[in-house]
Structure 1
Amino acid sequence: MPSSVSAGPRIRVGKKDGACFPMACGVLIALCGALTAFAFNAVYAKGWIDLEVYREGGAAVLRGTSVYDLVVGGRSLQFTYSPFAAMLFTPLALVEMETASGIWVLISILALEAVIWILVGLTTVKRRGRRAAHALLVVIAALPLYPVALTLWNGQIGIILLLVIVADLTHGKEKWRGIGTGIAAGIKLTPLIFIPYLLLTRRYRAALMACLGFLGTVILGFLLLPADSRDYWGGAFFDTHRVVAGQGVDFFNQSLRGVLALVPGSWPIMPVWLALCAVVGTGGLLVAARTWKKAGELAGITVTGIVGLLVSPVSWPHHWVWCIPLLVLWAQRAQRVNTPLEKLGVGFLWSIFLLPGYVALATLLVYPSHAGMWLMSLTGSYVLSGLSTLLALAVHFGRSERRRGKRASGDPFAVVPG
């Protein structure tokens, strides 16, 4: 009898929390985005260039023609993902481009809302009503961010992969944890960075599951698309010219290599880039492992995602959707610490992922003659933010270790936490 009495108020509190209204608003946002995408594509047939490539890749699979011989659109774009990804994109080829764009934007915004729902639940509130309200506010703040807006505009898959990785490594069952990340890497190779992260954090089973998930996508590709698989794994996956479509230096490549390519003069970029990748990749993964130990899984995988963006040969602005968990984590810390400097830092980071991309894009579209070297300060802002994050965490953990060391040396009976 007491249990039934206590259960009643809990149900009534859940209703008073008003969780349904924020969730309904989230669904409405997703539906409005999908309708806008459908209408704009039907009228102007512009945008969603990456989605068009996905769709043509799926159509090539259905036709039985080579996926990697495709040349799509006026910019001569090529299919750069794995044969397994091409197979996943086949449903897009069964509908018109207008319908495909609407469906894709709907799925992407729902994926964004699901990611933010997970992030808010892990970092701030647990009660369903408050969690839904906080998540809605974060969605509204995240939608105008340049990486998010460009992901939706281009029809990119980044937000969906972000959801798969975050859900897998934070909420996946222990027995299967890692397999979703491996499948994500089978679609787009950059999530492979999470395998050494799992090894460094001594989650050997999860690392094994990630490897098995990845290998499963490769084997499936060879079984169903053997010719395309030979082309892709025979060298097409390493051909960066397929990604940049022969454009060479591009102001919008937000990786270490992209920034180096903007430095004037004739000098060997490749050796310097490889050296930087070795330093940033190794050091960054060590920082990620330390972050996991001190701040939890979400912080660890966020740092790992940033490391992957920095060392990747090409990281377009829409690849930087990892700014979302970074901003949520910092906002949570600023709320906990409650200092003006921390709150100002969150606002500054949000503005970095909001303004520079739009300014650079507008400059290149409206005043292309003014797009000079000063754009480096804009387009390199993501790289600087990523490097600053790694450096700040390394310094923070280093200071913490020194303080514990001093306490331990001053008191022979002091207990130093691991």
Structure 2
Amino acid sequence: MRGSHGDMGPHGTADPGRGPGLPGRPAAPGPRTDRGRLLLALLLAAAVTVFTATVPLLRGFFDLRVYYGAVHTWAHHGGRIYDYRVPGTSYGFTYPPFAAVAMLPLAPLGRTTAIVVSLLVNLAALAAILRILAGPDWRRHGWYRWALCLCVLALFEPLRDTVSFGQVNLVLLGLVLGDCLLLSIGRGRWAGAGIGLAAAVKLTPALFIGLLLLAGRRRAAGTATAVAAAATALAAWADPAASRFYWTEALWDTGRVGRLDYVSNQSLQGILARLGETGRPLWATAVLLTLCVWAWRGRRAVEAGDWMAAFALTGAAACLVSPITWVHHLVWLLPSFAALLRAGRLRTAAALYAVLCTSVVWLWVDDASGLDGFLGGNIYTWISLGLLLRLPTGQTRVARLPLARSARATAPAPSPESPATTAVPDQPESSSGAGAPAAATGAADASVREGGRSPSREPTGSTCPSAAKPQSSSARASSYTVNPPSA
């Protein structure tokens, strides 16, 4: 059967709050009437808005100010990309030259307009990400479930920081997950372009090319490499001096990005730096071991046809091995939570997600020494490491929504005429979708349908007074502070 009476409205139509689905699909939490659900969704949205505006750090679109100032100076005043500094700070453009080329549409805009564009682009990227993570049955979850999902996502610190900084992480994640979708639905011949573009904008996504090689997808890996090389060549043609400076000097100078031992750096390098271990051999050893674990687990996930888990593992590994992984970079963990939900690990997903909503690492912004600093000041890194080691792979189990009440359903016992069947993991070229529901989305029934397969025009910064923490309106430090406040 495709649905049950509990899924239908009084006239046999689908209940918009729950959507049609499998018998036994969990009921949506909260009120059962549309009016009550709308009221609850509005109240939750208001509470999240108040929380976001008052409790977390406000970043003042600092990174967007960097992007905007660099391309504005480059396009209109003949300045060099990597010479620009946000007024009153020592921070400038740190991405590969192609990123500046891709951001050239910001140049003719006023700063306020650029902020609006940044918000719209991030929202569009988030919508695409959720669509991919939810799988082919995303419409079945209904507006009410998606409203609850967005309220939960708004509390996620890496996502809050990405939007508040005006960062590009969501766009890059969307490009990479686009390739994940293509591989999942058996259209791998078109895969790789998204990864290549993302790697040309920022180096971290290049690890996904390694995943394609591990999976034996040489065509996709070649496409990704060719796209990244073409984009890099385009940037070199547009500004040869900037490209030469970046690849020979700026790339190797981590001091341009920020302090390695700053608490926002939630990578393996950040842990070692806070311990006073700044030698490259120890860090290189830790990176090599991490990559070995990633290669082993990622290959197993691909062999099971679980592309979403493979991409999730790669995102976690990239956060660990990158020299600097600011808190907002941890949006790369979102696919891991989708994989946990799909595998039915709801409590684990909820607990880890709750920690990543707390901003708890900032308690050790002034002093991360001692056992408490080692454990608490690096807790986001421990979460990334735990996901790399323990994330379920090759799962076909249908997961239920967090906060959802279980709906009663009785499955008929198997009979000789209709024996029970056993689901098998999807194959790389024949799975039916991205393979993982988004956080706070319900179970999809694709496995049954397919036989069990499952703010001014000048970058002067005059509207943001210069300070030791230019992107924060709080006394607490932020990701790019050179000298954290003393206790």
TM-score, normalised via structure 2 length: 0.66
Partner of 1:349: 352
Change (3 A) 1:203 1:317: same
CA distance in 2, matches of 1:309, 1:363: 20
Cα-to-partner distance string for 1:248-293 (whole Å, 9 max, x where unaligned) = 52111010000111114xx553110001111101221221121222
Which of 216, 236, 239 is 2:250 aligned to?
236
- Helix, strand or coil for the counterpart of 1:78? coil
Partner of 2:64: 51
CA contact (8 A) 2:361 2:379 kept: no
CA contact (8 A) 2:311 2:335 kept: no
Could you tell me which amino acid in structure 2 is paired with residue 70 of structure 1? Y
CA contact (8 A) 1:61 1:86 kept: no
Structure 2 residue 262 is matched with structure 1 residue 291: no
CA distance in 2, matches of 1:47, 1:304: 30
CA contact (8 A) 1:165 1:184 kept: yes
CA distance in 2, matches of 1:229, 1:14: 59
Deviation at 1:236, TM superposition (A): 1.4
CA contact (8 A) 2:133 2:335 kept: yes
Change (3 A) 1:127 1:118: closer
Cα-to-partner distance string for 1:73-125 (whole Å, 9 max, x where unaligned) = 43311211111111121222322222211221222122112211210126xxx
Write out aligned runs for 1:2-21 (5 A).
17=16
Could you tell me which amino acid in structure 2 is paired with residue 77 of structure 1? Y
Partner of 1:159: 170
CA contact (8 A) 2:131 2:138 kept: no
Partner of 1:385: 383
Could you tell me which amino acid in structure 2 is paired with residue 220 of structure 1? L
Change (3 A) 1:116 1:248: closer
Structure 2 residue 159 is matched with structure 1 residue 148: yes
Could you tell me which amino acid in structure 1 is paired with residue 389 of structure 2? L
Aligned residues, how many?
A: 353
Which of 263, 266, 279 is 2:289 aligned to?
279
Could you tell me which amino acid in structure 2 is paired with residue 263 of structure 1? L
Could you tell me which amino acid in structure 2 is paired with residue 145 of structure 1? F
Partner of 1:361: 362
- Helix, strand or coil for the counterpart of 1:175? helix
Change (3 A) 1:248 1:179: closer
Change (3 A) 1:217 1:383: same
Identity of aligned residues (%): 30
Gaps of 5+ in 2: 1-10, 20-33, 395-423, 428-487
- Helix, strand or coil for the counterpart of 1:202? coil
Structure 2 residue 150 is matched with structure 1 residue 139: yes
CA distance in 2, matches of 1:177, 1:386: 26
Write out aligned runs for 1:294-305 (5 A).
294=304, 296-305=306-315
- Helix, strand or coil for the counterpart of 1:167? helix
Structure 2 residue 83 is matched with structure 1 residue 69: yes
Which of 97, 103, 124 is 1:110 aligned to?
124
CA distance in 2, matches of 1:19, 1:187: 39
CA contact (8 A) 1:254 1:315 kept: yes
Partner of 2:472: none
Change (3 A) 1:19 1:60: farther
Structure number with higher relative contact order (C-alpha < 8 Å, ≥ 6 residues apart):
2
Please, which moves more after superposition, 161-170 or 137-146? 137-146
| CA-atom RMSD in angstroms | 3.2
Deviation at 1:133, TM superposition (A): 4.6
- Helix, strand or coil for the counterpart of 2:90? coil
Write out aligned runs for 1:80-91 (5 A).
80-91=94-105
CA distance in 2, matches of 1:302, 1:344: 18
Deviation at 1:13, TM superposition (A): 8.6
Change (3 A) 1:308 1:153: same
Deviation at 1:295, TM superposition (A): 5.3
Change (3 A) 1:299 1:135: farther
Partner of 1:405: none
CA distance in 2, matches of 1:53, 1:226: 21
Which of 336, 341, 351 is 1:331 aligned to?
341
Partner of 1:180: 194
CA distance in 2, matches of 1:242, 1:72: 13
Structure 2 residue 207 is matched with structure 1 residue 196: no
Could you tell me which amino acid in structure 1 is paired with residue 129 of structure 2? V
CA contact (8 A) 1:258 1:314 kept: yes
CA distance in 2, matches of 1:150, 1:344: 25
- Helix, strand or coil for the counterpart of 1:275? helix
CA contact (8 A) 2:368 2:377 kept: no
Could you tell me which amino acid in structure 2 is paired with residue 249 of structure 1? D
- Helix, strand or coil for the counterpart of 2:189? coil
Structure 2 residue 324 is matched with structure 1 residue 314: yes
CA contact (8 A) 1:147 1:318 kept: yes
Partner of 2:466: none
Which of 265, 270, 282 is 1:253 aligned to?
265
CA contact (8 A) 1:323 1:353 kept: no
Cα-to-partner distance string for 1:185-225 (whole Å, 9 max, x where unaligned) = 00001111011110110001000000001001111011111
CA contact (8 A) 1:169 1:297 kept: yes
Deviation at 1:162, TM superposition (A): 0.5
Which of 275, 281, 284 is 1:263 aligned to?
275
Which of 192, 209, 224 is 2:223 aligned to?
209
CA distance in 2, matches of 1:117, 1:186: 24
Could you tell me which amino acid in structure 2 is paired with residue 147 of structure 1? P
CA distance in 1, matches of 2:208, 2:135: 22
Change (3 A) 1:268 1:328: closer
Normalized per residue, the structure richer in helix is 1
